Every structure is written in structure tokens, then in C-alpha cells.
């Protein structure tokens, strides 16, 4: 047969020269054509964090993925893409995949986190920091569940052959029928982003009554943090703090517009960026104000700095200090006023002071007030969390439903009342003039507006707010600036860029990618198919060779008919 | 998937053509160039059909999923040009009936194979993604070889002067079946929501029946005188 084939080709070449061109030039053109990208399923994946902080690498170091999918139960995982669902996720399985040098890990998250059982959410939340704590060589991706992805997952589960019980024939049949999936990401390798600027915003309300007025600083960081930047919505931490800060700005700006209520305190509001990266925005702001300028509100009479962090849930209120305030200082006054307000108006709230010394040996600072503490400014952080280690502050599970608007507005009221009592020195007035003990300032027209708080939190959680995603042109920053400008004077931006030679923080790109899942079959399947085709062609050959038999039969059948004709 | 897979599909699609060419004795007649000419006629006819379709048939803008029965029927009617083309090829070749039929059908089917299946196979079967449709496509090309041989023989019979009166009706019916076979298949698939494998099987059976009928007629006609 092959001789005959070569005969045909020989004929072709000899008979005409141009034909070779007609046949072979297109063939060559086709040969060099690139492979098409037509995928069975295409979905968006979000890469795990990748950043360097103070020269220390964190998160996954890789972005490229082109391997076959396996479920974590499969025996051999090396150089495979391990797919897990959040329900089945555990640290042991994750570690197993990494230990066997898997090619990649893809974790499928449910579309709606609030449908998950609470214990699984809690467990994952606590794992997030552990996954980030060390650098991971393989790429780790998160995907949101959809029907196609689930079906890929179930097919991957079934395609890992059950060991031991199956016979060889069964395994062979299984390889022929089961589908494999080749997971491919489209993007390039991740690389460091140079010249990334973190933006912070500042605004003020000037007091009245002479020079050198004491200043109260209110601080909240606006960025969010989670295991994957594109999934970090940070509702409670720190959307709640920012919304509270904006509400306080609104309330006090109203008080400061009337002559009778214009107090003798400067109020300085600071919305800091890079809060989850060791408070980079705050650090630079302090340096700018304390070291590089001659006159700044921070340089002279600072009464205290109040940082707002994670205040949207829970019935506890904790004032975190690095040094217990002394009797007679404004700090102590605020502490006392907070206690008074809570005990007289909201007895269900458990208020306490938490004392933790600044540990300079740690890689990261615990709370934002420690940045101020290092610069010897009296500062504390108010939060509903009892410890800075709690996972709620850095989780992708921190989405909108984690903020309870009723509690957030109650906490806002508490802070606003306590601040007002300090600013207007109400406690002494109460004692001397016999005003009621539970005097409330923010009622009726001046009350805390829950809708206002809620709309700010809604807006902040409408998009991921990881520090890597918010550059100076982002809508979050400009809208925040606009909001601050409505209530405050002298709204200014501050930028932090990492030092070129010895960067304090480095961010990496390729955090959001498109992943393709191609349906593939194992090599053994191709071989099997080749055998089947060879057999089929053999049968065809015999059939065509013996076509005369069929012809003869038909002729014999039709012959009598024609005779009678 | 891989080059190997492409090789599989390619072998499945092309080898039956090769075997047919060799075993039918066409190679002994040195009919290669005649086949190429038939292929060229195929190209010309397809071009004419496309021009005609593009000029006189506006694009159907109905809703998705709605089957445009009349429009599809009219389009299938344009396939009558194939019959003319086959007749043209056969009328230009002198020789025995079987020879004429085989040359026309081989050239025609091979041209179709090269033109409409070669590129999809190359692009699709070699891609990362695995899909059964390339194997199906290869089987389909085998079916269409049988189909064109049957069609050419029916055309040959139809154009004979000494065709008996009693043959006129069945031959015309077969001609109609050959032309509207693709249309009927589409209608079946649409009405009974056939899967791709079932559709292929139905197509194979339909083609088998049509070609068996035409073989009967052919044998009767050739040996009746």
C-alpha cells in the first residue's frame, strides 16, 4: 500500500512542477501557524498575595500555570494543578499539595460567602495568615464557583482512578472515558511594580480661640487585606473605621460652623493608605509632618491621636494603648468619657482598656497607634477586637454582611459623644452646673445617620480595596477625597513611594488572570484510538477489496427480475 | 490535542479515499489528472453557488433557535448545481460508466475533503482541547465519499438516453434524496434533538440506504441489456 502511495506522490512531482508549490506552500504556511486558544471553559482567577515587606518575601512567588488538574485526593500531585473546594479545604491538604511539589493550587470559593457554614469560614480565616506567612513557590489561585467550574471539579474528582480495587481493564476503560483538564493561565510571570504610590488623605477643622490650640487627630486606614488582593473587600476592617471617620467629620463640621459650638480644639482627620502593610501611609505622614516641615499641627500641642480600626460588629469596645494614660492628660479624659458614655447610655457594651507594649522586634506593628507611639505622640486605637492577632482584620471573608449597621452607628455615637464631652469639657460643666448625667449631644438633627454610614460601607465594599489595587487615580481615593472635602478644610494628599534602593514594600502584578481549562485525554487514549482506527481502516480495506461479492449478490438478486422483463 | 491525535483523525478521514482509489482500479487507468479536474470543477461549482447564495439569499435575521424551514429548503435547492457539476465532469470523460462515475465522485469528494475538512482538522485536532467532533468529522468524510459515489451514479443513470421508462421515477426520487439529504438531516437533528453521535449514525444509515438503492438500479440497468 505504501509503495502505491509513493507512486502517487512521484507522479504528482514528476507531472508538474507548479503543483508542488500549490500543495506545499500552504502546507508550510499551515505548519507554522500558531495554536488556537479555544477553551472548554474560561474563568477569572485571583492570585494569592505577593509582596515584600522590609525585604522579607511573602505569599506566592509564581504566576504561570500550565498543568493538568488533579483533586487533592489523587496519589501523585507533583507538577499537577491541585483543585480544592473551600468546603474540603484544610491546612493539611494544602501542605500535602505543597510538599508533593504540586504545580499549582486552585481553591474554588463559593459565589456567596454568607451561604457557607460559619465554622468553615472561621477555619479558613485563621488559615489565611498562615498561608501568607511564608513564601510559596507555586502559584496559588482563587476562583469563584460557577456551574462549569463545579463540573470540572467533579470530573477531576472522578477521573482520579480508585486504587487497588480496579482491574487493569477497568483502569484502561476509565482512562478512555474520563476527561482530564489542562489548566492554563494567560498572563505572564509576575514582576515587581516599580514606583507604586500609596495615597493617604488629610483634612482638618480648625478650632477657635487663640494660638497653639490642642489638636485631636482621628485616623483610619482605608485599605483592605486578604489572602487574595482582588477578593479583599475589607468591610469591617477597615470600611467600618473609614465610614465612622467620615460620619464624625460630618458631625463635627456642623458643630464647628456655629460660633457658639466652635470649640477650642483643632480636629485633624487622616485617612491613611497602606495600613495593612505596616502602616506605610501613616509612617510617611508623620515623617513629613515632624521631620521635614517647620510648622505642623502634629509638632505642637497634640492632645491625643485616636485610631479607628474594625468597629462594625460585636458588643465589646476595646481601647488599645501602648502606655496607660496618666491622670490629668487629655488621653485620660477621653478614656474616662468613653467609660461614662458607655455606662450611662449603652450598658450592653463592654468597654475595656487593653494594654500592650510596642514590640520593636516584631516584623509588623500591632495597631496603627503604635506608629504614633514611636514618635512619642499620645495615641490609642479603638476597636471591637480584643487582640490585634484576630484573623478578622485580614481576611477575604470580611465582606459586607460582617458589618452590623446598628452596632456601627451605636459605636459611632459612643465615640462622637465621648469626643464632644472632651472637646467641650462637659464633665466639669455637668458637675458644676447640675446638668443631667446622661446628657446627649448628638440627638435629633445632630444624630448619627445610620443610612449615611451604611451607604459609605456599601460603597467601600463594592470593590476590592487591597493596597495593590488602589493607585492615586483610583475612584476610591478620589471619592474619599471628595467626601472629606465636603466637610473639612485643607484636604491634602500624601504619597508614599518605596525607596528605590532599599524598598520597604514591593508589590507584584498579575493578581487577576484568566484561566482556561482545556479538556484533554491521556496519551494512552490516543494509542487506543490509533488501534481502533487501524482496525476500522482494515475492515474498510477488506470491504472495498471484496466489493465484487456484494455486486455479485445484487446481480443475482436482480437477474430473475430482468429475465421476466 | 496532540499531533498524534491529528494523525489519527487524518488517517481516519483520508485512508478510505486512498483505499478506494487504489482498489477501484482508477490508478490503473491513470485517472489522477481526471480526478484533479473533477476537483477543480467542484471548486468552480462551489464558487458559483456561493455567489448565487450571497446575491439572492438575504441573511436570516430571525430569533436564535428558530428554524427557518423555507429558507433552508431554498438553500438546499441551490445544491442542484452539484448535480450539474457532476454531469459536466462525467460528460467530459469518455469511457465506461463505472469509470466515469468513479472519477467524478472521487475527484468531487476529495476536493470537498481537502477544502472543508483539512483546515478544521489541522486547527482543531492539534489544539490542546480534546473534542470528539474531529473524530466525528473524519467519519463524516467517509460517509460523504459513499454519498458522492451514489450521487454520481444516479446522475449518470438519469442522463442516459436508454433509461427505461420504469426507471425514471425511482431515479428521480433518488436524485431528490441526494440533493436534499443534508437538509433532511438538519431537519431530523432539529426535530428530534439528536446528539452528535446519533446524528452521525442516522446519516450513515440514510446514506447507506440511498447508495444501496442506487446500486440496485445501477446493476439492473447495466445488466439488463
Residues of chain A with pLDDT > 90, as a percent, come to 41
Residues A391 and A288 in one domain: yes
Distance from CA of B73 to the nearest CA of A (A): 32
Cβ–Cβ of A518/B19 closer than 8 Å?
no
Task: Identify which of B19, B32, B219 has the shortest CB distance to residue A551.
Answer: B219
Give the residue numbers spanning the domain of A141: 41-192+512-521
Q: Which residues of A touch B5 (CB under 8 A)?
A: 526, 529
What's the confidence (pLDDT) of residue A47?
A: 93
What's the confidence (pLDDT) of residue A565?
A: 41
A379-388, A520-529, B52-61, range with the lowest pLDDT: B52-61
Residues A266 and A300 in one domain: yes
* C-alpha B58 chain-centroid distance: 25
Cβ–Cβ of A529/B119 closer than 8 Å?
no
Q: Is the pLDDT of residue A474 over 50?
A: yes
Closest CA relative to residue B140, chosen from B123, B155, B169, B120: B120
Residues A211 and A153 in one domain: no
- Total number of domains in chain A: 4
Cβ–Cβ of A519/B122 closer than 8 Å?
no
Mean per-residue pLDDT for B203-223? 89
Task: Identify which of A519, A540, A550 has the shortest CB distance to residue B16.
Answer: A540
Per the prediction, chain B carries an average pLDDT of 85
What's the confidence (pLDDT) of residue A445?
A: 84
Residues A465 and A546 in one domain: no
Residue A502 belongs to a domain: no
What's the confidence (pLDDT) of residue A37?
A: 43
- Does B141 touch chain A if contact means CB atoms closer than 8 Å? no
The neighbour count for residue B169, using CB atoms within 10 Å, is 9
Model confidence at A39, pLDDT cuts 50, 70, 90, reads low
Q: Rounded distance, CA A501 to CA A401, Å?
A: 42
Q: Is the pLDDT of residue A377 over 70?
A: yes
Residue A529 belongs to a domain: no
DSSP single-letter state for residue A55: T
Model confidence at A27, pLDDT cuts 50, 70, 90, reads low
Closest CA relative to residue A135, chosen from A81, A202, A61, A82: A61
Q: Rounded distance, CA A239 to CA A82, Å?
A: 34
What 3-state DSSP class applies to A473?
Answer: coil
What's the confidence (pLDDT) of residue A562?
A: 47
Cβ–Cβ of B8/A529 closer than 8 Å?
yes
Residues A475 and A516 in one domain: no
Task: Identify which of B4, B11, B127 has the shortest CB distance to residue A537.
Answer: B11
β-bridge partners, A53 = A56, A505
Residues A471 and A372 in one domain: yes
What's the confidence (pLDDT) of residue A20?
A: 52
Q: Which residues of A touch B124 (CB under 8 A)?
A: 36, 38
Residues A179 and A221 in one domain: no
Helix (H) or strand (E) holding A57: strand A56-60
DSSP single-letter state for residue A70: E
DSSP single-letter state for residue A202: E
Q: Model pTM greater than 0.90?
A: no
- Does B22 touch chain A if contact means CB atoms closer than 8 Å? yes
Residues of chain A with pLDDT > 70, as a percent, come to 89
Over the stretch A236-260, which tens digit does the pLDDT of each residue have?
A: 988 999 999 999 999 999 999 988 8
Q: Is the pLDDT of residue A381 over 90?
A: yes
Mean per-residue pLDDT for B18-37? 83
Contact B86, B158 (CB under 8 A): no
- Does B4 touch chain A if contact means CB atoms closer than 8 Å? yes
Residues A166 and A219 in one domain: no
What 3-state DSSP class applies to A464?
Answer: coil
Cβ–Cβ of B127/A536 closer than 8 Å?
no
Residue A507 belongs to a domain: no
Residue A504 belongs to a domain: no
What's the confidence (pLDDT) of residue A539?
A: 93
The neighbour count for residue B73, using CB atoms within 10 Å, is 12
What is the distance in angstroms between the CA of the first residue and the CA of the last residue of chain B? 55
Of residues A376 and A8, more confidently modeled: A376
Task: Identify which of B11, B127, B142 has the shortest CB distance to residue A38.
Answer: B127
Contact A64, A185 (CB under 8 A): yes
Cβ–Cβ of A521/B12 closer than 8 Å?
no
Q: Which residues contact A413 (CB under 8 A, 6 or more apart)?
A: A345, A442, A447, A448
What's the confidence (pLDDT) of residue A233?
A: 92
What's the confidence (pLDDT) of residue B64?
A: 58
Model confidence at A559, pLDDT cuts 50, 70, 90, reads confident
Residues A153 and A78 in one domain: yes
Cβ–Cβ of A520/B122 closer than 8 Å?
no
Mean per-residue pLDDT for A13-32? 53
Over the stretch B122-149, which tens digit does the pLDDT of each residue have?
A: 887 777 778 888 889 899 999 999 999 9
Over the stretch A434-451, which tens digit does the pLDDT of each residue have?
A: 666 677 888 888 888 999
Distance from CA of A148 to the nearest CA of B (A): 16
- Does B40 touch chain A if contact means CB atoms closer than 8 Å? no
What's the confidence (pLDDT) of residue B117?
A: 85
Q: Rounded distance, CA A452 to CA A67, Å?
A: 49
- Does B1 touch chain A if contact means CB atoms closer than 8 Å? yes
Cβ–Cβ of B130/A11 closer than 8 Å?
no
Residue for grid cell 425514471: B168
What is the distance in angstroms between the CA of the first residue and the CA of the last residue of chain A? 44
Cβ–Cβ of A545/B23 closer than 8 Å?
yes
Residues A247 and A138 in one domain: no
Distance from CA of B128 to the nearest CA of A (A): 6
Model confidence at A10, pLDDT cuts 50, 70, 90, reads low
- Does B123 touch chain A if contact means CB atoms closer than 8 Å? yes
Per the prediction, chain A carries an average pLDDT of 85
Residues A334 and A226 in one domain: yes
What's the confidence (pLDDT) of residue A280?
A: 92
Model confidence at A563, pLDDT cuts 50, 70, 90, reads very low
Q: Rounded distance, CA A76 to CA A71, Å?
A: 10
Q: What would you measure as the largest C-alpha separation in chain B, in angstroms?
A: 58
Residues A9 and A73 in one domain: no
Residues of chain B with pLDDT > 90, as a percent, come to 20
Of residues A297 and A332, more confidently modeled: A332
- DSSP codes joined into one string, chain B: --HHHHHHHHHHHHHHHHHHHHHTTTTTTT-HHHHHHHHHHHHHHHHHHHHHHHHH-PPP-PPTT---HHHHHHHHHTTHHHHHHHHHHHHH--S-HHHHHHHHHHHHHHHHHHHHTHHHIIIIITSSS--THHHHHHHHHHHHHHHHHHHHHHHHHHT-TT--HHHHHHHHHHHHHHHTHHHHHHHHHHHHT--HHHHHHHHHHHHHHHHHHHHHHHHHHHHH-
Over the stretch B76-116, which tens digit does the pLDDT of each residue have?
A: 888 888 888 988 888 888 778 788 888 889 899 999 998 88
**A-chain residue closest to B128, CA distance:** A518
Q: Which residues contact A148 (CB under 8 A, 6 or more apart)?
A: A41, A43
Over the stretch A169-207, which tens digit does the pLDDT of each residue have?
A: 777 777 667 778 888 888 888 899 988 999 999 999 998
Amino acid at each position: 500500500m505504501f509503495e502505491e502511495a509513493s507512486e502517487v506522490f512521484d507522479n504528482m512531482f514528476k507531472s508538474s512542477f507548479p503543483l508542488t508549490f500549490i500543495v506545499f506552500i500552504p502546507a508550510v504556511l499551515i505548519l507554522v501557524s500558531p495554536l488556537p486558544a479555544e477553551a472548554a471553559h474560561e474563568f477569572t482567577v485571583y492570585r494569592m498575595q505577593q509582596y515584600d515587606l522590609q525585604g522579607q518575601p511573602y505569599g506566592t512567588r509564581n504566576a504561570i500555570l500550565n498543568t493538568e488538574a488533579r483533586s487533592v485526593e489523587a496519589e501523585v500531585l507533583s507538577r499537577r494543578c491541585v483543585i480544592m473546594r473551600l468546603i474540603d479545604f484544610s491546612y493539611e491538604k494544602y501542605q500535602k499539595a505543597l510538599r508533593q511539589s504540586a504545580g499549582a493550587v486552585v481553591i474554588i470559593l463559593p459565589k456567596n460567602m454568607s451561604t457557607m457554614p460559619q465554622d468553615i469560614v472561621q477555619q479558613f480565616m485563621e488559615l489565611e495568615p498562615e498561608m501568607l506567612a511564608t513564601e510559596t513557590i507555586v502559584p496559588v489561585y482563587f476562583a469563584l464557583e460557577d456551574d462549569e467550574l463545579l463540573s470540572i471539579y467533579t470530573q477531576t474528582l472522578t477521573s482520579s482512578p480508585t486504587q487497588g480495587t480496579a482491574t487493569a481493564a477497568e483502569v484502561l476503560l476509565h482512562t478512555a472515558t474520563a476527561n482530564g483538564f489542562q489548566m492554563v493561565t494567560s498572563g505572564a510571570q509576575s514582576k515587581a511594580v516599580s514606583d507604586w504610590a500609596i495615597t493617604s488623605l488629610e483634612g482638618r477643622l480648625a478650632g477657635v480661640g487663640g494660638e497653639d490650640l490642642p489638636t485631636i487627630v482621628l485616623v483610619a486606614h482605608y485599605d483592605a487585606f486578604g489572602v487574595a488582593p482582588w477578593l479583599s473587600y475589607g468591610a469591617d476592617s477597615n470600611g467600618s473605621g473609614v465610614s465612622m471617620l467620615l460620619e464624625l467629620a460630618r458631625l463635627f463640621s456642623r458643630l464647628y460652623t456655629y460660633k457658639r459650638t466652635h470649640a477650642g480644639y483643632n480636629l485633624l482627620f487622616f485617612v491613611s493608605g497602606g495600613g495593612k502593610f505596616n502602616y506605610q501611609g501613616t509612617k510617611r505622614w508623620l515623617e513629613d509632618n515632624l521631620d521635614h516641615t517647620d510648622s505642623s499641627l502634629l509638632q505642637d500641642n497634640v492632645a491625643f491621636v485616636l485610631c479607628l480600626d474594625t468597629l462594625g460588629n460585636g458588643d465589646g469596645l476595646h481601647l488599645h494603648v501602648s502606655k496607660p494614660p496618666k491622670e490629668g492628660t487629655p488621653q485620660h479624659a477621653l478614656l474616662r468619657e468613653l467609660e461614662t458614655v458607655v455606662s450611662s447610655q449603652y450598658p450592653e457594651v463592654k468597654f475595656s482598656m487593653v494594654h500592650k507594649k510596642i514590640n520593636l522586634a516584631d516584623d509588623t506593628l500591632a495597631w496603627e497607634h503604635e506608629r504614633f507611639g514611636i514618635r512619642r505622640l499620645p495615641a490609642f486605637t479603638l476597636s471591637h477586637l480584643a487582640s490585634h492577632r484576630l484573623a478578622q482584620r485580614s481576611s477575604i471573608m470580611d465582606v459586607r454582611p460582617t458589618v452590623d449597621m446598628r452596632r456601627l452607628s451605636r459605636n459611632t455615637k459612643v465615640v462622637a459623644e465621648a469626643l464632644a464631652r472632651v472637646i467641650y469639657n462637659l464633665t466639669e460643666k455637668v458637675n458644676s452646673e447640675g446638668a443631667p448625667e446622661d446628657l446627649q449631644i448628638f440627638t435629633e438633627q445632630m444624630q448619627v445617620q445610620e443610612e449615611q454610614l451604611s451607604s459609605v460601607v456599601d460603597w467601600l465594599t463594592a470593590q476590592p480595596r487591597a493596597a495593590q489595587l488602589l493607585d492615586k487615580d483610583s475612584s476610591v481615593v478620589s471619592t474619599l477625597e471628595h467626601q472629606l472635602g465636603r466637610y473639612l478644610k485643607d484636604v491634602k494628599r500624601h504619597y508614599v513611594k518605596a525607596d528605590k534602593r532599599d524598598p520597604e514594600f514591593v508589590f507584584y502584578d498579575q493578581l487577576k488572570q484568566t484561566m482556561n481549562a482545556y479538556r484533554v485525554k491521556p496519551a494512552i487514549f490516543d494509542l487506543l484510538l490509533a488501534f481502533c482506527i487501524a482496525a476500522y481502516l482494515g475492515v474498510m480495506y477488506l470491504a472495498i477489496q471484496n466489493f465484487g461479492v456484494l455486486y455479485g449478490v445484487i446481480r443475482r438478486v436482480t437477474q430473475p427480475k430482468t429475465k421476466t422483463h | 490535542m496532540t499531533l498524534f491525535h491529528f494523525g489519527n483523525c487524518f488517517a481516519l478521514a483520508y485512508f478510505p479515499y486512498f483505499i478506494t482509489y487504489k482498489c477501484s482500479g482508477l490508478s490503473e487507468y491513470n485517472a489522477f489528472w481526471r480526478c484533479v479536474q473533477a476537483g477543480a470543477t467542484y471548486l468552480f461549482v462551489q464558487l458559483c453557488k456561493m455567489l448565487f447564495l450571497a446575491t439572492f439569499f438575504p441573511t436570516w435575521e430571525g430569533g436564535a433557535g428558530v428554524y427557518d424551514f423555507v429558507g433552508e429548503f431554498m438553500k438546499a435547492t441551490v445544491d442542484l448545481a452539484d448535480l450539474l457539476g457532476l454531469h459536466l465532469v462525467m460528460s467530459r470523460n469518455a469511457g465506461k460508466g463505472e469509470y466515469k462515475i468513479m472519477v467524478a465522485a472521487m475527484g468531487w469528494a476529495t476536493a470537498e475533503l481537502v477544502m472543508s475538512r483539512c483546515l478544521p482538522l489541522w486547527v482543531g485536532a492539534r489544539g490542546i482541547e480534546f473534542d470528539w467532533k474531529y473524530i466525528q468529522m473524519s467519519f463524516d468524510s467517509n460517509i460523504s465519499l459513499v454519498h458522492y459515489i451514489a450521487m454520481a451514479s444516479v446522475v449518470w443513470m438519469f442522463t442516459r438516453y436508454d433509461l427505461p421508462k420504469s426507471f425514471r421515477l425511482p431515479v428521480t426520487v433518488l436524485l431528490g434524496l441526494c440533493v436534499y439529504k443534508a437538509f433532511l438531516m438538519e431537519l431530523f437533528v432539529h426535530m428530534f434533538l439528536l446528539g452528535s453521535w446519533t446524528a452521525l449514525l442516522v446519516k450513515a444509515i440514510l446514506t447507506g440506504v440511498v447508495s444501496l438503492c442506487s446500486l440496485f438500479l445501477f446493476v439492473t440497468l447495466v445488466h439488463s441489456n
